Amino acid sequence: MIGVTRGTLLLLLLLPHGIKGKLRSKDGEGPTVTIPDKPNIVLLVADDMGWGDLCSYGHPTQECGEIDKMAAEGMRFTQWYSADSLCSPSRAALLTGRLPVRVGVWGGERVFANDGSGGLPKNETTIAEALKDAGYATGMVGKWHLGINEFLPGDGRHLPHHHGFDFVGTNLPFTNHWACDESKVHMAHPNPMKCFLYWNTTLVQQPFRHDNLTASFLQDSIAFIHNNKDRPFFLYFSFAHMHTDMFSAPRFRETSRRDMEMDCVSWTGL
């Protein structure tokens, strides 16, 4: 199922796990339909991706990919709006199901800074916490941008594992900032204070390299799914695309008929 906004692409995959029961037609003919007890849930979020950027939503020149195939085989939504146009409040709403003003992530300073003390309030229940209570394994990879430290540098009290995620793989605790550009388009070199990569709570790159960033997210996601294949799981996969700084892996670079931005769409849509 795909939901679309002007600023965010949301893809929800429901994968069967346990079987609660079976249904047949009244006359006993036709195929048996299985009913999943607790379906596995994979939530994919693409940053700053417009609804019109995808082949499956009518883009006239964008190449079709696997995400368009899933849209054709699943349910495609045509009306859905993000709770905000900026990163932190829209993600706070997405993970809690509450408007940003309700969770305190609103106003002029509603984007959490890399050196600030703000973050998603811990008294807010996230979808990960709710599903964890229901017996799900919970995992997260990719962009977080809902706070890092609270009281001391390095305390990590706002990071994902404090909000219901058992497994946290490769992640951007802040964001993919334009100051992380490696092409020297925006600046001579990346700003390490805005460009850092974690694995769980451990700093692994500062500044980080873009070439294998999405591949690292994917590798950790596959490992999480494999390790939890015998139980229901919830995976939150948050792309660094399409937010500036723009980037794409070498095999997707200059493959679009248009520009770098559409190379990013191809990489996101695999």
Catalytic residues: 87, 145
Question: Count of residues for the chain?
Answer: 270
**Alpha carbons 88 and 106: distance in angstroms, whole number:** 9
Residue 83 DSSP symbol: S
**Diameter of the chain measured on Cα atoms:** 72
Which one-letter amino acid corresponds to residue 109? E
CB environment 204-230: b (16+ within 10 A), e (fewer): eeebbebeebbebbbebbeebbeebee
Contact 206, 192 (CB under 8 A): yes
> For the residues of 133-186, what is the DSSP string, one character each?
HTT-EEEEEEE--SB--SSSTT--TTSGGGGT-SEEEEEESS---GGG-SSSSS
Query: Do 269 and 54 touch, CB atoms closer than 8 A?
Result: yes
Distance CA 172, CA 148 (A): 10
Count the neighbouring beta carbons within 10 Å of the beta carbon of residue 58. 9
Cis peptide before 133 (omega within 30 of 0): no
